[in-house]
Structures are given as C-alpha cells and as structure tokens.
Structure 1
Amino acid sequence: MNENVVIAGGGIGGLACALALARAGVSVDVLEQASAFGEVGAGLQLGPNAVRVLDDWGLTDDLKACAAFPVALWVRDAHGGERLGQLRLGARAQTRYGQPYATLHRADLHSLLLRAVQQEPGVSLNLQTRVAAYEQTPEGVQVTTEDGAVVPGQALIGCDGLWSRVRVQMLGAHPVRASGHLAYRGMVHRDQVPAAQRENVVTAWLGTRLHVVHYPVRAGEWFNVVAVVHGVLGQGHGGPVGSDPQSWSHEAQAADLKTALGPACSDLMAMIDAVTDWKLWSLNDRTPMTGPHEHAQGRVALLGDAAHPLRPYLAQGAAMALEDAWTLGRLSDAAPVADWPALLSTYAQTRWRRNARVQSRSQRNGTIFHASGLLRWGRNSAMALLGESLMDNAWLYEGPPDPLGN
C-alpha cells in the first residue's frame, strides 16, 4: 500500500506498530516526544503469545541474544517461605504452545524493535516531536505537533501510553485510576544474588497486602526484582506527598520497603538485601474496556497502554501491545487498498474483548496475590489441589487471535 500512517509514541508499542505496518508496505511517521529513543524501567515477562509475535516478525534470534527462558514459575509464601505452587515453563511451554516463555529487560526489547524498524525504509523516526491534537477529514488525518508542525496521514495510531493525548481527544479527559499499590523495582547482578535464588525461574512471593516477583534477565546475567505493596507516595514511601504520578522513577529507600514487607522469610529478605538501588512507581490504570469504540474511531486508533493500561499481575502489558501491533499488521497486509476506517474498526472488534479480559484478570490477580484470611486460605488450598491447571492460561498463551481467521 502506498499509504502513510502517523504513530504517536516511540516506545515498545509504537515501534512494534511501526514494524508491523512497514512490513505490510505502509509508510510510517513515528512521532516521539523524547530526545532519544529508549526505555526506562526494568524487566518484563513475555508469554508464548508475545514470543509468537516476535517469531512471526523474524526476531527470534535477537530475542535469544538478550532474554532468559525460565524453566518454571514458583509461587512461595512471603512470610513462611513454603512452596505454594509451580507452573512448568521451559520445554513444557514450548511443547504445549509452540513457543517458550521469556523474561528480559524492557530496554532490550525496545532496542531489538528499534533495530528492526531502522532497517525498514518506509519508516520515518522523529524525536522531540509531541502530538498536540489531530483533525479527521474524509480523506485522512492532520496531526498537529506542539511546535505547530502539521503531519498528514491516512490514519493515526495513538501509542502514547497511559497519559495518551490521542486518547484524551478521542475519548475525553477521564482521569487515570490509582490502584493504591506501589511498585519497588531493582536490578541485581547474578553474582550478587543469594545462591538459593539463582535458579532460572520466575519466583512469586505472596503475602498479606504485598507480593514480590524476581526473575532472570539479560541472558541470565541479571535479576529483576519487583516488590508491590499497598500505599501512597510520600506516606512512608519515597518522596513528598503530591509527587507527580506521571514521573516514571522515584528514589526510594530499602528501609521503607522492609517496613512495608513486615516479617518476610529469610530467603525473600536475602533477595531484597541484594538490591542496592531501588526505584519507586505508583501503579495506575483504567477500568477495563467496554467496547470497540475505546480502541478506534474513524481513522484514529489506540494501541497498548493508551487503550488498555494493565496492572502488572498477569505480566501481559508489553505482550498486549505486541499483539495489538501484530493484528494491525495482519489486517494491513491483507488489504491492498486500505479503507482505514474499516480496517481500524476490524482491529477494534478483534482486540477489545481480549484486552478487556486481560485487564480484568490482572486486577483480580492483584486481589488474590495480596489476600489475607479466608481468601488466602482458599488460594493456597486451590493451588495445592489443582496445581498447574490453576496457574496455566491456555486461553492467553495460545494467542493472539488471527483477525483473518487463519
């Protein structure tokens, strides 16, 4: 297609979208507000559904060069230390789903997508360019940037994250939802990890009003550690009350985290002590999607966190952005003459229910992970009784659904 599409945002979702569309023959203008392409944050997990997307794009070797491929997910009690459940990954995931389960640093995923995009001649990458507004016409869209430039296109894809400006114009200025949870994130080199925690596994520690997850990244040379607790920035956690919730990083003290964790077991505390530099995030999201109109209207669509920000309790935030992008690429590739309103409508119809389900399941998992009392007892009993069948997510890992029905 000799078409031009404007993409707002050059993060993981925006680059994935650019790659998928460029591979389908669409010319793309990526508008990124930062002065350089890059990702902040720490690790992320990619289930077989997301790895399948990268494999379809020919990026398996790049993924293998930077990711770890855990052999299992272990669930342990944060206070007593006992094993509550296990889900085999590794060879089992490969056999069951045709793709492995991967863990990697956010920056590494972003870098491999950027390298792939830079090899596509139809992609124009623009830094220090932030979308201010857009106007739809019967023939296309006119995107105005903060510096007053106008970028024309046949369609606009908002990949500009939780605080998306494209979303605000499309759906109205609705505030994000504060989860009441804070995430402490840190990285530790494998040599500094306690020997008992160096296994090639994802370990999830569940406690009352908290959980901690750690797993290998950077081909196993580092471990990503995330501790989620209940609280508010400035009230015993990090900076002053009123700290900007849009700021990605907040300096934090290990003492605040240890106070929030309470009487955790020695294995968990040894892992916490191994981290020498913590960052603190306030977790925000939006209510689950209610219909396709929240994904696309006319020639404008939303992708990833701009459409369906997720709490991190199903480890699918990056995966859903990759799935969104792959779906757009499939639809574009199958349309030699693009009717963008129709194409984006199909995209929205294909994606919104799955994304809403992942949003709802992620929120529910947070309640289950942090349970106390009878709910905690029921959770532990169910994991002991049902084992892997409770922890596996075939409906998720067998995806993404093919919009073409193949």
Structure 2
Amino acid sequence: MPAHILVVGGGIGGLATALALSRDGHRVDVFEQAAAFAEVGAGIQIGPNVARRLQQLGLDQSLDAIAARPNALVVQSAASGAELARLPLGDAMRQRYGAPYLCVHRADLHSLLLEAVRTKGVGALVTDARIAQIEMSDDLVCVSSSGSRAWEGEALIGADGLWSVVRQRLESPSAAEPPRITGHTAWRGLVAQAELPKALRRRRIDVWLGPRLHVVAYPVRGGDWLNVVVIAESAPAGDARDWDQASSLVALQQATGHSGRALQALLEAMPNWRAWTLCDRAPLTSAADMAHERIALVGDAAHPMVPYLAQGAGMAIEDAVALAEALGGGEAADVPAAFARYAEARWQRNAMVQARARRNGQVFHATGPMRLGRDLALRTLGARLLDQPWLYGG
C-alpha cells in the first residue's frame, strides 16, 4: 500500500512535494498555517535545473503560460551603468542544458502547483493548521495544531520554511539553532511594464553591482510585469519573520545612497516598495540535517540560503522531486530507508548552493581592490564566469 504522508507547509516547496509524491499514488495531506493557500513575494528565477524538474512534474505547458523568457543576463556597474559582462539565455540555455531559463511571479507558480495538487485529488488540503506538537512511534507520526486538532500519518515532511517547527524534531545538533540574521535587507517592487517609459522596460535580467549592494530586475508574468529587487548591507528593520514589510523609496535610499542616473530612474518608477530581512543558516554538514527516521525536510526548512544564486525556490523543487524518486511507489515500511537515501543524495548539493550563495554576496557587494578585481574578471571572462554548469546541469 502507498504511504500516507503529512506535509507541513503549503508554500512552493510543500506543494511541489505533495504533487511529486501523489504521482506515485501516495496519499498526501498538506497543512498550511494561514487561512488560505497563498504566496507572499514577487519574482523567482527558474534556472534550467529547476525547469527540468517542473517538466518531470508535468507542468511544462502550464509553466509556459505564466513565465517570461529573458534573452540575456547583463551585469552592470550601479554607479556608471557600464556593462561588465553578458550571458546569453533563451535558446542558448535550452540547447546547453535541455531546458529554458525562466522568470515567474511567485504567486503564479504557487497557483499553478496548487491547481495541479487539487486536480490530482490525493489527500487533503488543510488551512488554519499551525502545527504545535509532533509525536512519533516506530511506524506512525502524529501532528497536532494549536486549535487542538490532530492528524496521523506514516511519514512527515517539513516544508515549513526558515522558522520550521518540524526541523526541531530532527536528531541533528543544529536542529534547534535559530536562523542567522545576515545584516542584509531586501526591497522588492513590482510594476506593469506598460506603465513604464520604454527606456525602462526589460526583456532580460539586469544586475547592477555597487559597494555593499546590488540590484536585480527581470520580467515576470509572460513579460507583462517587471520585478525589481534591491539588496543592501543595512540594519534590519521590523520583525525578521515578516517577509512583507511596508517600505518606501526614501528608506531604500537611506540604506543604499543614490545610484547612477539610469538605475535611479528605474527605482523611482516603482509604485511602492516592500522589504524583508535576509536570514539563512550555515551550509548543511551531513544527511542528518535533512532527515531522520520518518521525518524529512525540504527547502528552507532544511537549507535556507541568501538569494545571491537565485536558487532558494529551485532547491526546494529539486528536493521535492528527489524525495519522491527515493520513495517511489514504496509502502509505509520503506519510508525510513527512502528518506535516508533522499537526504544522502541531496545534502551535499544543497550545502554547495548555500556556500556559493554566501560567497556571491561577498563578490556582488565588494569594495576597494576586491571590487576592481571582480570587475576586471567580469570584463575578461564574461559569459564563462556567469554560467554555472555545475548548477544548471546538475
């Protein structure tokens, strides 16, 4: 008999996991602490490694309907606007890695996954379920909510993000440690491209590098909207758990200063800004950081990372597919061994992405001689430096 699996967390990672497992016939119940299944945020970059996994889940046609297809990644100076390096995307990515490089709105991808899970019709989607307690026996896992409701299954997957409750039940030394507040703050803005002057509209991914900050802009929603993210080394404001704080251009400029004229015009064109504090954890050190017995973690619950490699959601989707492949059509008795295989297969890749993302933050925000060396390397090596075969081909 297929297993009955409980997934805590109804975000992108949780829904991708539920969909992947349900394709092998498992009964999967998903628990979301909010009153509705929804997603906060704006853009997500989907590299070829992630696009391939979404294709495996049968979502390629649905993804085409919501995605933008940038034709290049262009890195520039935040001060002067001078181009430092360029990586062709579009057909070049598909030919090299067998899948496109896409940009989507986070809420659109979440809705696509939610509809796919509902269509599959395996298991329950439970809202207002803030998990407060987890109990385990040799062959069962029981979770209960703060509202005195309880559910029982044969496996538990924590997809409950940075501040994961499920994580605390792992037998890992780092399981109970709080996330690290990085000292970096991110601002995001979203605008319909039709509302922008033609000079500010984008069909590519633009990155501007400056001292202790960088800016990324790329199209989403089929190219009709533009997502802009500014990240700076700035004292965090508000609750670190709040991913959707109201902010303003004034607050952004106080943290970053004024950039070059062309970039400043784009920032001023954003109708509003939302902010959040960046947090992460140290890179994984062993498979024990991702699974134990009948409990496994996916995405930020296991390996939260700074967004300097644009792979946070991507690694959650990779986890989802890998976990389903490890379990296959196995039954409840197979769960502990399958989860152990999953964790062993995934932890080193996730740890590498976490470490590279941290390193990219240092490179992106470099000052002094390091900044000069970075710019020289970008001008000299160009696409060879920007491409990531180990990541996109993995």
Query: Is the alpha carbon distance of 1:276 and 1:190 closer, same or farther for their aligned partners in structure 2, counting shifts above 3 Å?
Result: same
List aligned pairs for 1:4-403, cutoff 5 A.
Answer: 4-170=4-170, 171=172, 172-234=175-237, 243-333=238-328, 335=330, 338-399=333-394
RMSD: 1.3
Q: Is the 8 A contact 1:194 1:271 kept in 2?
A: no
- In 2, the alpha carbon distance for the partners of 1:10 and 1:22 equals 15
Counterpart Cα distance in 2 of 1:173 and 1:199: 43
CA distance in 2, matches of 1:366, 1:292: 26
Q: 1:112 aligns to what SS in structure 2?
A: helix
Cα distance in 2 for partners of 1:263, 1:79 equals 9
Alpha-carbon distance between aligned partners in 1 of 2:333 and 2:228, rounded to the nearest angstrom: 44
- The answer to whether the 8 A contact 1:44-1:103 is kept is yes
Provide the secondary structure at the position in 1 that maps to 2:247.
Answer: coil
3-state SS in 2 of match to 1:123: coil
**Secondary structure at the residue paired with 2:116?**
helix
* Matched residue type, 1:299: R
SS state at 1:5 partner: strand
Q: Is the 8 A contact 2:184 2:236 kept in 1?
A: no
CA contact (8 A) 2:77 2:84 kept: yes
Moved more, 8-17 or 147-156: 147-156
Report the more deviating stretch, 55-64 or 99-108: 55-64
1:139 offset after TM fit, Å? 1.4
Change (3 A) 1:280 1:98: same
Residue 35 (structure 1) shift: 0.5
Whole-angstrom distance in 1 between the partners of 2:142 and 2:236: 39
CA contact 1:132–1:144 (8 Å) conserved in 2: yes
- Report the 3-state secondary structure (helix = DSSP H, G, I; strand = E; otherwise coil) of the residue aligned with 1:70: coil
Letter in 2 for 1:79: A
Distance 1:343 1:311 in 2: 29
Number of equivalent positions: 391
Give the AA of the match of 2:48: P
Q: Which runs of 5+ in 2 are unaligned?
A: none
Secondary structure of 1:339's counterpart equals: helix
- Quick one: distance in 2 between partners of 1:248 and 1:368? 25
The CA deviation string for residues 18-71 of structure 1, in whole angstroms up to 9 with x for no partner, is: 000000110011111110001011111000011001111111111111110101
Shift of 1:133: 1.9
Moved more, 292-301 or 377-386: 377-386
Unaligned residue ranges in structure 1 (runs of 5+): 235-242, 400-406
CA drift at 1:196: 2.6
The amino acid of 1:147's aligned partner reads: G
Identity among equivalent pairs (%): 47
**Residues 199 and 150 of structure 1, relative CA distance in 2, 3 Å threshold:** closer
Amino acid at match of 1:18: A
Cα offsets for 1:219-248 (capped at 9, x unmatched): 1110000000111134xxxxxxxx221112
> 1:337 Cα shift?
6.7
Shift of 1:387: 1.3
Structure 2 CA distance for aligned equivalents of residues 126 and 299 of structure 1: 21
Q: Deviations over 1:297-316 (max 9, x none)?
A: 11001110000001010000
SS at match of 1:91: helix
Q: Distance in 2 between matches of 1:333 and 1:24?
A: 6
Correspondence for 1:240:
none
Q: TM-score, normalised by structure 1?
A: 0.94
Preserved contact between residue 117 and residue 123 of structure 1 (Cα < 8 Å): no
For the residues of structure 2 that align with 1:16 and 1:103, how far apart are their CA atoms? 17
Deviation string 1:87-107 (CA, Å, 9 cap, x unpaired) is 111010010001000001100
Would the aligned equivalents of 2:139 and 2:333 in 1 still touch at CA under 8 Å? no
Q: After superposition, give the CA deviation of every residue in 1:247-270 in whole Å (9 maximum; x if it has no partner).
A: 121111211212333241111011
Give the match's secondary structure for 2:377.
helix
Matches of 2:274 and 2:130 in 1, distance apart?
26
Letter in 2 for 1:290: T
From the superposition, tell whether residues 338 and 47 of structure 1 become closer, same or farther in structure 2 (CA, over 3 Å).
farther
- What SS does the aligned partner of 1:251 have? strand
1:167 is aligned with what amino acid? Answer: R
